[in-house]
Amino acid sequence: MTKGNAVWKPPTEMSREQCLADSGAVLAMPDIPLKEYEDLFRIQAVGMDWDIGAQVYEPEDPGRILVGADGRKAGVYLLSGGDGDFKTMAPVARLLAGKFGFKVATMTYPGRLFLDGPSRNWPGDTINPDGAIRTPIWLSGEHITPDQYEVVKDSSIRERYGTRTVLHAKPGTTFWHRLAGWPAAFEEGGKQVMARNLPDGEYSVYVHGHSTGGPFVFMLSQRVPNIAGVMAVENSAFGYINEAKLKVIGSLGAIGDFERRVTETSRVDPFYELYIRTWRDKARYIGPEKLGQDGPVALMRLPLVIEEVMEAWEAARARPQFKCEYVVSANIEPSLEEAARVSARRMGLDTDATEALVQHFLGYGRELRGPGVKPVPPVLFCVTKDSRDHDAATYRSLVMPMYARMEPAPKTALVHFQAGVHSYWKPEADLPLGVAPVAAKTWHDAVTGGYFLADNG
C-alpha cells in the first residue's frame, strides 16, 4: 500500500514529460537476475489434442518475486494480439520481471507457436513467391496442407485493409475442425498456463491482452479464480463491447488535429476463415502513427514511409502473422454457434450437450452473469497518444459506460498517456522502449498500492 495506507489512484492523463521521466527512471533501475524458460504441454479440448506453449520469466531468487497489496505474490499473464506469439510480448515481460519482480507467463495462442523448430521463429513469409501460404500448427507433427483450403482475395474492406488474403477451410478437413474448436482450446490452455505457473493460493494474477488479446483475457478473468485484475494497456474490451465500438461512429481525433469519422457494420467473418497478414497490416498502423507524430507533412515523405513499412514487415514476419480471433474479439455470434455445432457433430454429442456447448461458445464474447459467477475484476485501462484503434474519447463515452452497466459493475479507470502508439513498446524519440516502462510502473503502483483490492472500489 502507499504511504499512510492510502489507495493508489491512477492519473486521468500522463503528460509526455511525465512519460519521459517515468521511462528514464524505470530503465535506470537495477536489473533483477531472471530465469526464462518454455512451458510446452498438451491439453485436450472438444475431443482433440492441442499443444500449448508459454514462456515464463521470473526472478532467479524466489525471494525477489513481488508481493502485492493483498499479501500474495504478483503474477502476470500476458497475451499478444492474435497475429503474435510470446516473443511479441517479450519486451514487456522482461520489464515486469526484470525491473519490478513480477513472475510473468506469456502464452501463445493455439496454433501460433512454431513447433517445427527450437527458435520458434516462423520461416519465410506468410505468402511466399512459390505460392506457399503459412498455416497454424496446432499439434506437433500435424500440418495443414493446401488441399484443405481455398485461397480467397477479399477487397470488401479495401479502404481499411487493402486487399486481404484469407483461407477458407474445406468442410470435414482437419483445418475445418481445428478452426471450429480452437476457442475451447484457448480457454483450457489459458487456465492451464496459470494453474501450472501462477497457482491459486500462492499468486494473484493480473492479466493483460494487447489489442485482440484483450477480449480473451477478459473472458479468462471470470474463469480463473485467482485473476485479481485486468491491466488493459491498448487492450480491447469484451467482444460484444468491441462489436458495439465497431457499430458506432468512432473518432480518430486523438491523432493530431486530424479527425475522421468512420462507421462500420458488424464483422461477419465465418469460423472457417483464416486471415493471412501482409505488409498492408503494418501500413494501416504506421500511417495513422505518422499522422499523429508528424502531421500531414508525412505524406510528403511517402517513399520513406513505404520503406519503413517494408522494414517493419521484414522484422515482423518471423511472428505468426495470421488471425482467426475475430469470432471472439468482435463477438460474431452466428460463427461461434456454427463452430460449436460443428464440434458437437464431430464429437457425436446429443441435443442437450450440443446446446450446452453452443451456449458455452456464445459466452466467450461477453461477461458471465448470474448467481455464483465470479464478477469481472477491477480494470485499469490505458491508451496511448497515437493509437490507431484506442482513443480516449470512445473509452469515456462507450467502453467504460458499458462496464458500468454490468452487474456487479467492476471498478474501472482510464489513463491517457500523452506519448506512445498501439504497439506501446515501440521506440520513439527519447523513449527507447516506447511507453512500456511507463505502463510497467503504472501496473506496479496499482498492484502494490491497492487499486485491485476488492474492498477498494
- Backbone φ/ψ region at 172: left (φ over 0), alpha (ψ -120 to 50), beta: left
Provide the H-helix boundaries in 234-381.
239-247, 279-294, 302-316, 326-329, 333-347, 351-362
Please give the Cα distance from 132 to 149 (Å, whole number).
12
Q: Is the pLDDT of residue 257 over 70?
A: no
Among 25-39, 201-215, 363-377, 387-401, name the one with the lowest average pLDDT: 387-401
For 28-65, write each residue's pLDDT tens digit.
Answer: 999 999 999 999 999 999 999 999 999 999 999 999 99
Give pLDDT, residue 455. Answer: 66
320: Cα within 13 Å, side-chain hemisphere: 27
Range of weakest confidence among 43-52, 92-101, 133-142, 295-304: 295-304
pLDDT at site 295: 84
Q: Which domain holds residue 113?
A: 3-456
Contact at 8 Å (CB) between 435 and 95? no
Tens of pLDDT, residues 354-377:
999 999 999 999 999 999 999 999
Which comes out higher in pLDDT, residue 234 or 286? 234
Q: In terms of Cα–Cα distance, which of 205, 180, 212 is closest to 191?
A: 205
Sign of CA dihedral 82, 116, 280, 156: negative
Nearest to 237 by CA among 410, 434, 53: 410
Q: What is the pLDDT of residue 265?
A: 55
pLDDT of residue 32: 98
The pLDDT of residue 5 is 66
| Domain total in the chain | 1
Kindly indicate the confidence band of residue 82, based on its pLDDT and cuts at 50, 70 and 90. Answer: confident
Cell of 144: 495443414
| C-alpha to C-alpha distance for 275 and 269, rounded to whole angstroms | 10
- Is residue 78's pLDDT more than 60? yes
Provide Rg for the chain, Cα atoms.
Answer: 21
pTM of the model: 0.91
Residue type, 359: Q
Is the distance from CB of 192 to CB of 43 less than 8 angstroms?
Answer: yes
> Distance (Å, rounded) from C-alpha 401 to C-alpha 169?
38
CA 106/CA 98 separation, integer angstroms: 14
Q: In this structure, what CATH number is given to the domain that contains residue 161? A: 3.40.50.1820
Percent of the chain at pLDDT above 70?
Answer: 94
Nearest C-alpha neighbor of 305 from the set 317, 323, 293 = 293
Q: What's the pLDDT score for residue 456?
A: 58
Q: Is the pLDDT reported for residue 268 higher than 60? A: yes
Give the model's confidence band at 292: pLDDT under 50 very low, under 70 low, under 90 confident, else very high: confident
